[in-house]
């Protein structure tokens, strides 16, 4: 008498994961829309590499350049409303200064006619980037600059481009190597 093989019994650990929420289709190629290249700006040197690449791609593809500055919360001031307001105002002033600096850099790179959209958000940087991309369906590419520091590509690249969310991130991420000179980046873009 032949014994029939039974399928092994699988043990379930808790409830099954909920299905991923459906994503709305991006509008980057719809009439009246332009694909936006999003660059997160701050005072790190790798931002200039990301800016050069994104500006060149924007110009070549007739897209739109969007610059995002995130004012990160100071946990130590959250209990002091007056100090928190002063810190917020300082953050906005710093954002304006960074946008002016990157505007000058764009002109120096030869992108005089390119007028970027300037966006300021408050919160944790990686979370605000993801929220903005989810909200703005014209954003088609996130461009990040990698640090040339031997300790790693930088916290943002590590979190977004190499982290757990990479497989489910809503748009492609372009990482520009930090060791490339601006003229090399422009030739590649």
pLDDT of 147-185, one tens digit each? 888 887 888 888 887 766 666 788 999 999 989 999 999
Q: How far apart are CA 57 and CA 155, in angstroms?
A: 24
83 pLDDT more than 50: yes
Closest CA to 158 of 142, 168, 144, 139: 144
Q: How far apart are CA 34 and CA 15, in angstroms?
A: 42
Q: What is the mean pLDDT of residues 73-98?
A: 76
At 57 the pLDDT is 96
pTM: 0.79
189 pLDDT more than 90: no
Token pair 């919160």 is found at 123
Confidence of residue 11 (pLDDT cuts 50, 70, 90): very low
What would the pLDDT profile of 135-153 be if each residue is shown by its tens digit? Answer: 999 999 999 999 888 887 8
Q: How far apart are CA 165 and CA 31, in angstroms?
A: 30
**Which tokens is 16 given?**
């099954």
148 neighbors 116 (Cβ within 8 angstroms): no
Rounded to whole angstroms, what are the CA distances from 118 to 77, 112, 175?
26, 16, 21
């Amino acid at each position: 008498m032949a014994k029939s093989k039974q399928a092994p019994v699988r043990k379930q650990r808790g409830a099954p994961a909920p299905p991923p929420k459906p994503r709305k289709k991006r509008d980057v190629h719809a009439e009246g829309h332009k694909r936006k290249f999003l660059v997160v700006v701050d005072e790190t040197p790798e931002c200039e590499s990301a800016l050069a690449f994104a500006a060149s791609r924007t110009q070549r593809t007739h897209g739109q350049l969007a610059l995002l500055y995130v004012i990160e919360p100071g946990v130590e001031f959250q209990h002091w409303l007056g100090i928190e307001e002063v810190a917020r105002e300082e953050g906005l002033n710093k954002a304006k200064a960074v946008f002016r600096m990157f505007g000058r850099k764009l002109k120096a790179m030869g992108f005089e006619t390119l007028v970027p959209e300037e966006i300021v958000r408050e919160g944790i940087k990686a979370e605000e980037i993801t929220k903005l991309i989810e909200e703005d369906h014209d954003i088609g590419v996130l461009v990040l600059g990698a640090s040339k520091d031997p300790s790693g590509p930088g916290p943002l690249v590590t979190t977004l481009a190499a982290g757990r969310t990479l497989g489910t991130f809503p748009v492609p991420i372009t990482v520009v190597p930090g060791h490339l000179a601006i003229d090399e980046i422009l030739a590649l873009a």
